[in-house]
Copies of this chain bind each other. A is one copy, B any other.
Amino acid sequence: MAEPVVAPGRPRGGRRDEILATFTRHVAERGYDRANFGDVAAELGMSKGTIVHHFGTKDRMLAEVQERYMGRRLDEAHAFLARLPAPEQRIAAFVHAGVRYSTLEPATTVAFQREVVRLTDEPGMETARGQRDAYRDLVVAALREGEEAGVFVPGDARLRSLQMFGSLHWMWTWFDPQGRMPPEDVAAEFCRTLLRGLGVPDDLGAVAADPQGPVARCVAEVCAPRS
Residues of B within 8 A of A155 (CB): 189, 192-193
Interface centre among A116, A171, A192, A196 (most CB of B within 10 A): A196
Q: How many residues of A contact B (CB 8 A)?
A: 36
Query: Residue of B at shortest CB range from A32?
Result: B33
Residues of B within 8 A of A85 (CB): none
CA distance A185 to B170 in the complex (A): 22
Residues of B within 8 A of A194 (CB): 163, 193, 197
Whether the pair B159, A166 counts as a contact (CB closer than 8 A) is: no
Whether the pair A189, B159 counts as a contact (CB closer than 8 A) is: yes
Residues of B within 8 A of A186 (CB): 159
CA distance A202 to B210 in the complex (A): 25
A194 smallest CB distance to B (angstroms): 6
Contact of A170 among B160, B170, B189, B197 (CB under 8 A): B170
**Chain A residues numbered 187-210 whose CB sits less than 8 Å from any CB in chain B:** 189-190, 192-199
Query: Residue of B at shortest CB range from A194?
Result: B197
Residues of B within 8 A of A192 (CB): 155, 197
Residues of B within 8 A of A198 (CB): 193, 196-197
Whether the pair B170, A165 counts as a contact (CB closer than 8 A) is: yes
Residues of B within 8 A of A170 (CB): 162, 165-167, 169-170
Interface centre among A163, A186, A195, A198 (most CB of B within 10 A): A163
**Chain A residues numbered 129-174 whose CB sits less than 8 Å from any CB in chain B:** 153, 155-156, 159-160, 162-171, 173-174
A143 smallest CB distance to B (angstroms): 11
Query: Residue of B at shortest CB range from A186?
Result: B159
Supplied contacts A164-B167, A166-B166, 9 more A-B pairs, CB within 8 Å: A31-B117, A155-B189, A156-B185, A163-B194, A165-B170, A166-B168, A166-B171, A195-B197, A196-B196
**Subset of 19 A-B contacts with CB under 8 Å:** A31-B117, A114-B117, A116-B173, A153-B196, A155-B192, A156-B189, A159-B185, A159-B186, A162-B167, A162-B171, A162-B174, A163-B193, A166-B166, A166-B168, A166-B169, A166-B170, A167-B167, A169-B170, A196-B196
